Amino acid sequence: MKSTKLFVLTLLISLSIGKFTTWAQDVNFNDSWKFYNAEAEGAENATFNDANWRKLDLPHDWAIEGPFDVKYNARSGGLPFHGTGWYRKHFVMQSSAKGKVVSIAFEGAMYDAHIWVNGNFIGNRPYGYIGFEFDISKYLKYDGTDNVIAVRLRPQDLSTRWYPGAGIYRSVWLKINEPVHVANWGTYITTPTVTNVKAVIQNETTIENKSVQNKKVVVKHEYFSPDGKSVATIEEELEVPANSSKNSGLYCTIENPEKWDTETPNLYSAITTITENGKVVDTYNSRFGIRTIAYSTKGFFLNGKKVRFNGVCLHHDNGALGAAVYRRADERKLQMMKSMGVNAIRTSHNPPSREFLELCDELGLLVQDEAFDVWKIPKVANGYNLFFDEWAERDIKDMIRRDRNHPSIVMWSIGNEILEQGDKKNGWKVAKMLNDYCKEMDPTRPTSAGFNHYPDPYDNNMAQQVDIAGMNYKPSKYSEEIKNYPDLPIYGSETSSVTSSRGVYHLPIEKYQTHESLQVTSYDIIGPPWAYPPDIEFHFQEQNPNVMGEFMWTGFDYLGEPTPYGGKDNSTNGHWNADWPSRSSYFGAVDLAGFPKDRFYLYQSHWTTKPMIHLLPHWNWKGMEGENIPVYCYTNCDEAELFVNGKSMGKKVKGKDLTELKVDFLRYEPKKFQSKYRLSWNVPYEAGNIKVVGYKNGKAIQEVQIFTSGKPAKISLSVDRKEIAADGSDLAYITIRIEDKDGNLCPNATNLVNFSIDGVGSLIAVDNGNAASVEPFQANYRKAFSGMCLAVLKSSKKEGTIKFTAKSKGLKSSKISVLTK
C-alpha cells in the first residue's frame, strides 16, 4: 500500500493456512481463497458449504481465463468479464486480537463489491478501480474458531468501453491496529519550500482513536534519505478524542535535499510512530519525493526546469495476464516506455494500482492520475454514471488521499471526453464540483481533463474550471486555442491514435478504413476518423512550443476497443462484433505481447538523443521481384544511407529530405503531409538484404540490416531476466522467435509452438500480439504471429530452476532456464 504499516511484533494472528502463524500488523491476505463463478444462494453465510469451490490465490481476474466468444462484446475484449463471482476465505483470529481494530482492505475489486464477515453485511463499493477498507472487529470470533469473509462481485456487460477485468484483481490486506493508530492513507506529505540548500517538509497526519476514552499520545516523524540515513526528526504531543480522529500537523527542514526528478528519482521515507504512555502503539511508513512543480501558459516546470510531456496513455490491463496486478508486468511495461523516450504516463481512464505508481516513483515517470471516463451522461448502458451521484465525491477524494504522497503524480484528471462538454447549463458546474474536491484534498497539484469537443468545453465555461486544459486530437487547433484563451495552459491529452499490427505491411501504401486481413499496416498512417500519424503531432507541438507536450494514444495495445474494426466509439448499448475475432486494440506503439511495433522507434527517434536507427519493412516479398518497395528509416542521426545487397540507394538528410504521408482526418484539410521525421526510399525488390547506416557529423555511428529469410528451421528463445524472485508472484517473459537456419527472423511465420515446463514455477500466460486471434491466453501452445510469440512464467515460493522447452513440428526445438531465488 502506498503508505504501509511496518511489520511490528505486536500481535499473533493464526491464519488457517495449515498451522501458519505470523507476527504482523498488515497481513497480506492474498493466499488460499475459494472462488465460484456463478450465483450461489447463501454464499454470504459463514455456514455455507464451499468445499467444492476452486482454490486460488489473489490477485485474480476470472475473465482472462476465457474463452473468447462472439457472444461477448469485442469492445470489451470478447471475454466473459460480466456475471457473478464469489470469493470466500476462512481464517482464525486468536484471543490476543480481541480489543484491537481489525480491518479488511481491498486495493481493488471489479466491480460492485459486496462484503460479508461471518454472515454480517459489512458494506459495498461499486467502482472497481479504487481501494476501500472496512473495520470488521465486532464481527470476528476470537476464540480460535473459523471466521469467513465472503465477497460478491457483479460486473455488468456494457459497463466500460474497454476490457475491465473481473474479480479481486488487486491485493487484499488484513490490518490489525491498536485503538489509536494512523488512519488508512493517513499521511499527507508536501514540500512547500525546496531549494538546493534546504527543503521544508510538511506532514499532516490523521490519527484515529477507536476507544471510548480520550487518548494522549506522542506523534513522531523520522525522515530518511534515499540511502537510508536519518536526516530529521520532529514530534508533538496530541490528545485524540474518544471515537474520533485528529490531525497532527508538523514540519521540519532537511538540509541539502536530493531532489526527485525524471533523471534522478530520489525517494525519501518518513517513519511515523505513535507512542502512548511510553509504549509504541503504531508505526507507519510513507515514501515521498522532494521536488517542485509549476505550470503556466509558458509550459510545465519540474524543479524550475521546463519539461515537455513525452507521454503515453496506458490502460490498466497487462495483455494475456488481464487486469490481475503483477508488479513485474507493470515494471516491464514502464521500462519499455522509458526506453522509447517516454517521461510521462496518463492513467487512462481510471486510478491505477499501488504498484504502478510506486514504479513510476522509482523510474522517474511523471503521472497524470485520472479519476473517471464518465460523469452523469452515459457512454455505455451500465457505466459509472449509475453510481456518479452517490459515489463520485468519495471516489475522487479517496483516489487523491491514497495517491497524493507519490512524487510522480503532477496532475489530477477529473475526467476523459466527458459528454457534459455539450451541456451549456450544467457541464461546468459538475467540472467545478470535482475540481473543488481535488483542491480540498490536495491544493499542491493542478487539475485537468481531456476535452475532445473543441471548442464546446471552452465556450461553455467547462475547460476554465480546471487548471490545465487537455486537448484530444486537435493539433491544428493549438494556436487558435492559445489565441482565444490566452490564460489557459494546454497540452495534448490524447494524440495521434494511429493504428498498426506488428510486422504487417500492406502494399501499396494507401489510406483505407479496414483490411480484409483484420490487421493494419505498420507503415503507420491508418486510424479512425479523428486519428493522424505521429508526425503531425510532432509538427504542431514544435509550432507551439508553449503547449506542454502530449500523451499519445497508446503506449501499449490493450484488451477491447479493436478500432478500426467492430464498431463506433462512444456508441451507447453497442456491441463491437461485426469484425470478429478482432477483440483488442491496434493503437499501441507496443503490441499486446510487449513486442515493439515500428511506431515505437518513430517516437524513440523523436524523443531520445542516444543514437538509434530503425528500418522497415521486412525483406520477404517473394513474387514481387522488381517491384518498388517503400523502405522507411526512423533515426535521430543527421543522415542515413540505404544499401540493397551492398549497393547504395543514396543518403537522405533528416529534416531536409521529406516523406510524403497520406492523411485524412477530422478538421484537417490537406490530404498529404510532408514529414521531416521519416526518411524513405522506393527500391526495387530483390532477395538478399537491406542495410541502413546512420551518420552524425559525417561519421557512421549506427547501422541495422534486414535479411530475406529462408524457410522456418528452428525456434530461438530469449528471456527478459534469467533470475527472478522466489516469491510466488515474480515473472519471467520468454520471447519465442521462428528463424531460418541462419538465425534470421521468418517475418511471415505462423507456426504452432508447444510449450512445456519443469521445476519450481508455472506457465501462466501465452500471447503473440495478434489482435484478431481467439487462441486462449492460458494454454501450453501458441501460434507465432509475424514470426514471434510469448510465454510468461511465474515463480513459486521455492528456490530452484524453471526449465522451459518450446517445440514445433518440423522445427529444431529450444530450451531455456530461469533461476528463482
Indicate if 322 and 445 belong to the same structural domain: yes
Whether 204 is catalytic is no
* 17 pLDDT above the threshold of 50: no
Query: Rounded distance, CA 604 to CA 602, Å?
Result: 5
Indicate if 360 and 231 belong to the same structural domain: no
How many domains are contained in the chain?
Answer: 5
Contacts (Cβ under 8 Å, ≥6 apart) of 624: 507, 685
Whether 417 is catalytic is yes
User: Rounded to 5 degrees, what are φ and ψ at 154?
Assistant: -135, 70
* 413 pLDDT above the threshold of 90: yes
* 40 pLDDT above the threshold of 90: yes
pLDDT of residue 567: 83
Q: Say if residue 192 is preceded by a cis peptide, omega within 30 of 0.
A: no
For 317-340, what is each residue's pLDDT tens digit?
A: 999 999 999 999 999 999 999 999
- For residue 573, name the pLDDT band (cuts at 50, 70, 90): low
603 found inside a domain: no
- For residue 571, name the pLDDT band (cuts at 50, 70, 90): low
Indicate if 745 and 628 belong to the same structural domain: no
The bridge status of strand 366-370 relative to strand 409-416 is: parallel
577 found inside a domain: no
Indicate if 332 and 255 belong to the same structural domain: no
Residue 287: how many other CB atoms lie within 10 Å? 19
For 452-501, what is each residue's pLDDT tens digit?
A: 999 999 999 999 999 999 999 999 999 999 999 999 999 999 999 999 99
Query: Rounded distance, CA 21 to CA 30, Å?
Result: 15
Domain CATH code at residue 665: 2.60.40.10
592 found inside a domain: no
Residues of 691-708 as b/e, b for ≥16 C-beta within 10 angstroms?
bbbbbeeeeeebebebbb
Indicate if 409 and 378 belong to the same structural domain: yes
* 18 pLDDT above the threshold of 50: no
Percent over 70 (pLDDT), the chain: 96
Report CA 528 to chain centroid distance, whole Å: 23
In this prediction the pTM is: 0.95
Residues of 136-166 as b/e, b for ≥16 C-beta within 10 angstroms?
bbebbbbeeeebbbbbbbbbbbbbbbbbbbb
Indicate if 256 and 331 belong to the same structural domain: no
For 274-295, what is each residue's pLDDT tens digit?
A: 999 999 999 999 999 999 999 9
Q: Which residue has the cell 470476528?
A: 140
Check the CA dihedral 498-504-509-511 and report its sign: negative
Indicate if 617 and 738 belong to the same structural domain: no
302 found inside a domain: no
Query: Rounded distance, CA 267 to CA 247, Å?
Result: 25
- For residue 7, name the pLDDT band (cuts at 50, 70, 90): very low
Percent over 90 (pLDDT), the chain: 94
**Residues in the chain, overall count:** 821
Mean residue pLDDT across the chain:
95
- For residue 2, name the pLDDT band (cuts at 50, 70, 90): very low
* 572 pLDDT above the threshold of 60: no
Question: 757 - beta bridge partners?
Answer: 804
Contact of 787 with 748, CB cutoff 8 Å: yes
* 525 pLDDT above the threshold of 90: yes
Mean pLDDT for 667-693 is 95
Contacts (Cβ under 8 Å, ≥6 apart) of 541: 308, 475, 478, 492, 547, 549, 550
Domain CATH code at residue 144: 2.60.120.260
For 202-259, what is each residue's pLDDT tens digit?
A: 999 999 999 999 999 999 999 999 999 999 999 999 999 999 999 999 999 999 999 9
Domain CATH code at residue 357: 3.20.20.80
* 398 pLDDT above the threshold of 90: yes
Indicate if 491 and 373 belong to the same structural domain: yes
In the set 417, 550, 561, 639, the catalytic residue is 417
Contact of 740 with 746, CB cutoff 8 Å: yes
Contact of 379 with 311, CB cutoff 8 Å: no
Runs of H (alpha helix) within 153-224:
none
124 found inside a domain: yes
298 found inside a domain: no
The DSSP-derived string for 538-563 is: HHHHHH-TTS-EEEEE-SB--BB--T
Report CA 102 to chain centroid distance, whole Å: 31
Indicate if 555 and 633 belong to the same structural domain: no
Q: Which residue has the cell 449509475?
A: 386
597 found inside a domain: no
Indicate if 342 and 446 belong to the same structural domain: yes
Domain that holds residue 154: 3-177
pLDDT of residue 160: 92
Query: Rounded distance, CA 104 to CA 88, Å?
Result: 13
Q: Higher-confidence residue: 384 or 5? A: 384
Mean pLDDT for 149-175 is 96
Comparing CA positions, the residue from 242, 231, 182, 230 lying closest to residue 4 is: 182
Domain boundary pick from 662, 684, 707:
707
Check the CA dihedral 618-624-626-627 and report its sign: negative
In the set 494, 537, 550, 775, the catalytic residue is 494
Indicate if 701 and 718 belong to the same structural domain: no
